[in-house]
Structure 1
Amino acid sequence: MKSGKLLFLLVLSIMLVACSSKDEENKNSDNVDVNKGMVNVEVTLPASFFEDTDMVKLKKEAKEDGVKEVIVNDDGSVTYKMSKSKHKEMLKEMGDTIDTSIKEIEADEDFPSIKKIEHNKSFTEYTIKMDQELYENSSMDGFAFFNLAYQSLYYQLFNGVN
């Protein structure tokens, strides 16, 4: 369950940064960097994710969650070094969260036109089965996909996809 908390904090941090505006010179320092080695995976998150964060507590919680090493870099960014299996577990949890969101969208009476949502294994392609007439007469059904799109983008980020 602790890995769920870490995952939630990481995704929440990314969402907050993604919604904030940055000037052009800071854009390069706000990238998530994923390096997949033979045994370990390193995920580096920008300093802007950690404003007002207790780094001692962050390191402790990450280690308790199975992260091998947490490095606070000179520029304020933080690198998480974890086993490939831990990284895979983190991605699985993100995928499970996406699947839960899909089930909620399909069951939500506020989006009556959405009947079924399917995706590929890497969350890069979706097939959405809808009632066209209900969709055309709805002003909100299209909004159901924004959260799903954000979650899929973050899955890609943490998987090292540009």
Structure 2
Amino acid sequence: MSITVPSPDKGSATSVPASFRPSGSGLLPGIPAQPAPEQAADASGRPGTRLVPAKIGRPGRIQTVYIECPEWCETDHSEREGSLDDVMHYGSADSVLVSTLTDDVTAHGELHATIAIDPAASDHRLRTAHIVVADGQPTDAYLSPEMGEELADDLIAFAAQLRHKARLVRLFNQARGEA
């Protein structure tokens, strides 16, 4: 089954399969046909990605379009974005909190890491998948895969030294009868 969509010059008609339809309401010849939701998940054709619906536009003029989205992305793109340039992709965040024995309620510090892509970033390096490391400060660190591996190695070494210090403190306190 197919439907007929008028072409922009209104002189001829293009046949479009019924499983594809224009985004938004009505037939808009200037907007290419979009895959139906059931086809969108497998239609991207690029490894590691899928097509997902995204709501784009100003209030009262919102259109649903299908965008290529990395499989690791956990962002709900059905929340309205102003334009396609505003769409970003984020994976799940891994976090570590630094507690302090002088405050049972508030963490002294925190560190978060996630995978991200900003397809419309002015910096071309942010248009590819990268790791974002955030510590609650106004600016984040953006890491290439190599930088991420180097930081992981440094954190493993730091963790080994931290464990060594914890053992020294425990032994010291035990020897003094304070543990």
Which bracket does the TM-score occupy, shorter chain normalised? Answer: under 0.3
TM-score (norm 1): 0.26
Considering only CA atoms, is the larger Rg found in Structure 1 or Structure 2?
2
The structure whose residues are more often helix, as a share, is 1
TM-score (norm 2): 0.24
The structure whose residues are more often strand, as a share, is 2
Higher relative contact order (Cα pairs below 8 Å, separated by 6+ residues): 1
